[in-house]
């Protein structure tokens, strides 16, 4: 049994999600096939993206985006040492594919009001070597995409949107994940929709689509539109086993595809319920003087319509964060850091990068004072709402420094 009265994640699967999985298992065809293709189409149609390719995780989708950018079949490919901007508030596998692809990440500070990339710091960090932005949309929120796209165009940068935490959020009535050349999504358990594990990468151009499809599956040519031409050029090879590119195996299963598709059909419904619960909690907290004095809840960016992943908050410096978090955890409220705090502070970064002392003041503040609580899939009772509020109020009062 879960020890939390208000956990970060509850069981995301409904009977109908599981039923579709069992039906697929019964067919005996679990490896990637028509259900993956059907979900990719369903996804592209709703999000309004040109091409979508399902993967076994959001991390794999990020790896494919970066590997596509350096691929020899890409006409405009990046070269070793080219710089990629990335907000310091990022996930581990938003960052590592940049380094694993021989490119150089440059950390950018974030905006304390919306947790996303700080556009002023972003412009300051652009150099002649800057070729791309690995943008991370944080917990369902986003930066001002209109201004970001202006900078992208001004400096001719490629945009990858890591939308792993923000499926379903819109900016100016357009889904996140439709602004960049590439966008990636995660269907891990705690995310807006889930297939246990799973991900998606979308892209704008057919050239990138073909490269990614090949990289996803061993580098073979079977799935490519030019497969017939490749066969003619390689008559000495078995046509099913022609390896046209380098590759990985990052394919999802049919089981993940049907569960994700079943959940994706209800994306709007999930968004409505979760945002309703978030608004209930925010309203309750904001009407409480103690909570209001010592805790700032992050608001949506102007012109955005988020599908919140959780409820991110920043504690005042007058509160001992460790003490407060330990107390509320013990009393049944589960919390976690906002993504993983300032990622530039992680030991792995110091090991792999020539560590430069970046000034990332807002990311530091979020690292030191920020945390978030989850949002359940089903409505919460007034009793639970009052309990959560009381636990926050009582422990803020006794955690003052």
* Binding of residue 94 to ligand PLP (CB under 6 A): yes
User: Greatest CA separation found in the chain?
Assistant: 77
CB of 165 to ligand PLP, least distance (A): 5
E-strand stretches of 163-284: 170-171, 174-175, 182-186, 199-203
CB of 247 to ligand PLP, least distance (A): 19
* Binding of residue 224 to ligand PLP (CB under 6 A): no
Taking residues 146 to 165 in sequence order and writing x for each that binds ligand PLP by CB under 6 A, - otherwise, the string is ----------------x-xx
In the complex with ligand PLP, the residue whose CB is nearer, 111 or 165, is: 165
Q: Which of 137, 191, 227, 236 is catalytic?
A: 191
Taking residues 50 to 89 in sequence order and writing x for each that binds ligand PLP by CB under 6 A, - otherwise, the string is -------xxx--x---------------------------
Q: Would you state the torsion angle of the CA atoms of residues 52, 54, 55, 58, taken in this order, to the nearest 10 degrees?
A: 60
CB of 59 to ligand PLP, least distance (A): 3
Instruction: DSSP letter for 87, please.
Output: E
CB-CB neighbours of 9 under 10 Å: 18
Active site residue 191: yes
* Binding of residue 140 to ligand PLP (CB under 6 A): no
CA dihedral (275, 280, 286, 289) positive or negative: negative
DSSP 302-349: TTEE---SSEEEEE-TTB-HHHHHHHHHHTTB--B-SBTB-GGGSHHH
3 state DSSP class of 145: helix
DSSP 361-391: HHHHHHHHHEEEE---SS---HHHHHHHHHH
* Binding of residue 188 to ligand PLP (CB under 6 A): yes
In the complex with ligand PLP, the residue whose CB is nearer, 117 or 224, is: 117
In the complex with ligand PLP, the residue whose CB is nearer, 158 or 388, is: 158
Catalytic (active-site) positions: 191
Chain contacts with ligand PLP (rule: CB under 6 A): 57-59, 62, 91, 93-94, 136, 162, 164-165, 186, 188, 199, 339
């Amino acid at each position: 049994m879960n020890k939390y009265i208000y956990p970060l994640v509850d069981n995301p699967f409904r009977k109908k999600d599981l039923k579709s999985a069992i039906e697929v298992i019964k067919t005996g065809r679990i490896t990637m096939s028509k259900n993956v293709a059907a979900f990719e189409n369903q996804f592209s149609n709703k999000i309004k993206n040109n091409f979508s390719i399902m993967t076994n995780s959001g991390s794999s989708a990020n790896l494919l985006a970066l590997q596509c950018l350096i691929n020899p079949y890409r006409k405009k490919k990046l070269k070793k040492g080219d710089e990629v901007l990335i907000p310091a508030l990022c996930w581990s596998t938003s960052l590592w594919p940049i380094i694993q692809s021989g490119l150089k990440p440059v950390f950018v500070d974030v905006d304390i009001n919306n947790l996303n990339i700080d556009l002023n710091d972003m412009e300051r960090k652009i150099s002649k070597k800057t070729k791309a932005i690995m943008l991370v949309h944080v917990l369902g929120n986003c930066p001002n995409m209109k201004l970001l796209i202006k900078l992208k165009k001004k400096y001719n940068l490629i945009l990858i949107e890591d939308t792993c935490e923000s499926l379903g959020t819109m900016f100016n009535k357009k889904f996140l994940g439709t602004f960049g050349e590439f966008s990636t999504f995660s269907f891990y358990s705690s995310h807006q929709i889930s297939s246990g594990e799973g991900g998606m990468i979308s892209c704008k151009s057919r050239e990138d689509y073909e490269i990614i499809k090949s990289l996803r599956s061993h580098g073979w040519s079977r799935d490519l539109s030019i497969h017939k031409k490749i066969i003619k050029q390689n008559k000495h090879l078995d046509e099913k086993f022609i390896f046209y590119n380098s590759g990985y195996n990052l394919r999802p299963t049919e089981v993940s595809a049907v569960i994700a598709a079943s959940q994706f059909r209800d994306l709007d419904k999930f968004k409505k319920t979760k945002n309703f619960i978030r608004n209930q909690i925010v309203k309750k907290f904001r009407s409480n003087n103690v909570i209001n004095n010592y805790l700032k809840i992050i608001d949506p960016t102007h012109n955005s319509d988020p599908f919140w992943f959780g409820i991110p908050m920043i504690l005042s410096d007058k509160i001992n964060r460790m003490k407060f978090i330990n107390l509320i955890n013990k009393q049944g409220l589960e919390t976690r850091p906002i993504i993983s705090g300032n990622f530039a502070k992680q030991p792995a970064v110091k090991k792999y990068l020539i560590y430069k002392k970046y000034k990332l003041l807002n990311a530091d503040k979020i690292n030191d004072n920020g945390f978030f609580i989850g949002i359940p899939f089903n409505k919460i009772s007034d009793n639970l709402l009052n309990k959560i509020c009381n636990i926050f109020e009582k422990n803020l009062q006794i955690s003052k420094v």
